[in-house]
Amino acid sequence: MTTFTVPTAASVSPANRAIFEQLEKKLGMVPNLYATLAHSDHALGNYLTLQNGKSSLSAKEREVVNLVVSQVNECAYCLAAHTVIGGMVGFTSDQIIEIRKGGASFDERLDALARLAADITRNRGRAAPAAVDAFIAAGYDAGHLVDVVMVVGDKIITNYLHALTNVPVDFPAAPAL
């Protein structure tokens, strides 16, 4: 299999170098998967625009989707990163494990979201009508559904990129299920 290296600031385009500088200031590092997007002159900027776009979903709700999708897709990189971020947005370690398993019994609304995100991902967008109905019954609407699909798509991008490149994970490993 081809080995993919993690680009450095010296090896990327000037536009990506500027993004690396912004990431260093904001995060204190350039995560390896973000750096890997910089193999393309455009992907890193486009991805960050998608990831940082406005959403009807809260930060906690987006992390539910990120954790579920990453677990379904078995992405060690994204599970590690989003386990850290999940803690930062207020989930406990036990809650993160439960979310990764596709549920959230501690919160009815988040449970419907987790179950829907898992069903969407497992079935490549063809969620069971009952999962969509439960999501709507939990207080979400069509706009929320669209935003869930946006977050699923966002996470699939990085899950697939890591699966293809297998760049080193630079976050603490997520606990095994």
Instruction: Record the pTM.
Output: 0.96
The answer as to whether 4 is a domain residue is no
Count of Cβ atoms closer than 10 Å to residue 20 Cβ: 21
Looking at the structure, tell me whether residues 71 and 115 fall in a common domain: yes
The answer as to whether 118 is a domain residue is yes
Looking at the structure, tell me whether residues 67 and 140 fall in a common domain: yes
The answer as to whether 2 is a domain residue is no
Q: Residue 114: which of 177, 61, 59, 175 has the closest Cα?
A: 61
Q: Across the chain, what does the average pLDDT equal? A: 97
Instruction: Convert 76-97 to b/e letters by CB count within 10 Å (16 or more is b).
Output: bbbbbbbbebbeeeebeeebbb
The answer as to whether 138 is a domain residue is yes
Total of domains in the chain = 2
Looking at the structure, tell me whether residues 30 and 85 fall in a common domain: no
Looking at the structure, tell me whether residues 64 and 19 fall in a common domain: no
Residue 149 belongs to domain spanning: 59-165
86 pLDDT higher than 90 = yes
The answer as to whether 176 is a domain residue is no
Q: Tell me: the pLDDT tens digits for 13-31?
A: 999 999 999 999 999 999 9
CATH number for the domain including 139?
1.20.1290.10
- Report residue 1's pLDDT band, with 50, 70 and 90 as the boundaries: confident
Q: Tell me: the pLDDT tens digits for 111-149?
A: 999 999 999 999 999 999 999 999 999 999 999 999 999
